[in-house]
Chain A
């Protein structure tokens, strides 16, 4: 089983719908992240959490919200999806500050908003 698991792997939805992407990890890491990847733009940080009680906005948080339900679970929500949120979304974890810590990514969730 993967150490960082994302569900769903693929989702097609319509504009205005609420969508939740879920991430769970078995690595025991405190730090969890949500990124989106677009062609030509690379990976951009949406939200990150350094422990269960900690939530921080990344560079592109508008239109998204997150919930850290437990150390192992971090979900990303799109309250009202729009077409420009069509992208590949990645959850990642790390065990120490990103200064030295390696990021461990999930397999990705491909979201298409029509």
Chain B
């Protein structure tokens, strides 16, 4: 069964600290994995995409990793800011089928001063 699981469900950190969000998937055949950021009351926005051959990709203070062998991805946020408070959603796509996107339930990150 194709599933995407994210952990933790929620996280509270102090401003300036680092954190890592996890995404484990059983989706097959794997095509790519995206991390989205969803601010409160807004639609999700793509942060980064990871394809099968990529291990690490950075977007400013956000660094995503992918281990295709263990089917795990992480999103590391460095030197967190208040504006990083949001939900982070992991979305995995497969190479077959029309309805080919599988969503995690998200991690709710709160950065406090």
B contact set with A: CB distance below 8 Å: 31-32, 34, 36, 41-46, 49, 89, 91, 93-95, 98-101, 103-106
Question: What is the bound-complex CA distance between A102 and B99, given in angstroms?
Answer: 14
B32 A105 Cβ-Cβ under 8 A: no
Tell me the interface secondary structure of chain B in the complex.
strand
B43 A98 Cβ-Cβ under 8 A: no
A48 B99 Cβ-Cβ under 8 A: yes
**In the complex, A72 has a CB within 8 A of chain B:** no
**In the complex, A107 has a CB within 8 A of chain B:** yes
B32 A41 Cβ-Cβ under 8 A: no
Tell me the interface secondary structure of chain A in the complex.
loop
Question: What is the bound-complex CA distance between A45 and B89, given in angstroms?
Answer: 15
- One of A4, A45, A108 near B99 (C-beta < 8 A): A45
**In the complex, A90 has a CB within 8 A of chain B:** yes
B99 A56 Cβ-Cβ under 8 A: yes
Question: What is the bound-complex CA distance between A103 and B34, given in angstroms?
Answer: 10
Q: A106-B43, A107-B42 are in contact. Are A97 and B105 (CB under 8 A)?
A: no
A100 B32 Cβ-Cβ under 8 A: yes
B43 A90 Cβ-Cβ under 8 A: yes
- One of B46, B49, B98, B103 near A50 (C-beta < 8 A): B98
The 8 A-B pairs with the shortest beta carbon distances in the complex, nearest first, are: A105-B43, A42-B105, A99-B31, A98-B101, A43-B103, A102-B46, A42-B103, A98-B100
